[in-house]
């Protein structure tokens, strides 16, 4: 699925993997990593605080805090001006912006209502393009199949790890 220079796609993969790249014309983004990948068959090495969503300016942040909710505060958002990140502690990770987009994509794909087996990759995609890809894929009956595994050990490693997680 494409939209100008933005794209998102699914490819066959024995597990669940995502990769994402971004490209923003802003000094704060130039100094951060522009690509990230996660393969759910590989265990995470550590759990840290979740990524925050980027915001355009401190004025925008104040307007959001007033209009939207108390959630929009600097500890939950990356606030940038025309030149830099304004949060006192800076970015939590060098790739925080692109990790946020990766987490957005995971949420978008979760709307399918089933675990996915495949590889999702995207460049500059967002909620709307991810949703268009998901809808187009589901509409094309030859682009996907519904599979079940009689035994947990028959499932790809990424799904087996998910089965082993404690219920929440």
The CA distances from residue 127 to 6, 64, 124, 130, in Å, are: 12, 20, 10, 5
Structure tokens belonging to residue 135: 């809808």
Nearest to 59 by CA among 29, 79, 85: 79
Residues annotated as catalytic are: 127
Nearest-CA neighbor of 134 among 123, 148, 118?
118
Distance separating alpha carbons of residues 93 and 46, to the nearest angstrom = 13
Longest dimension (CA), the chain: 55
């Amino acid at each position: 699925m494409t939209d100008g220079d933005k794209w998102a796609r699914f490819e066959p993969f024995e597990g669940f993997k995502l990769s994402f790249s971004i490209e923003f014309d802003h000094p704060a983004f130039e100094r951060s990593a522009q690509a990230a990948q996660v393969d759910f068959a590989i265990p995470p090495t550590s759990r840290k605080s979740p990524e925050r969503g980027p915001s355009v300016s401190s004025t925008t942040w104040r307007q959001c805090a007033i209009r939207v909710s108390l959630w929009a505060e600097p500890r939950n958002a990356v606030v940038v001006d025309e030149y830099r990140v304004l949060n006192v502690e800076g970015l939590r990770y060098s790739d925080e912006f692109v990790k946020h987009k990766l987490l957005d994509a995971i949420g978008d794909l979760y709307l399918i209502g089933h675990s996915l087996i495949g590889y999702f990759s995207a460049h500059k995609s967002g909620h709307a393009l991810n949703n268009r890809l998901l809808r187009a894929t589901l509409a094309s009956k030859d682009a996907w199949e519904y599979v079940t595994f009689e035994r947990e050990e028959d499932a790809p490693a990424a799904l087996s790890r998910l089965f082993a997680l404690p219920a929440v």
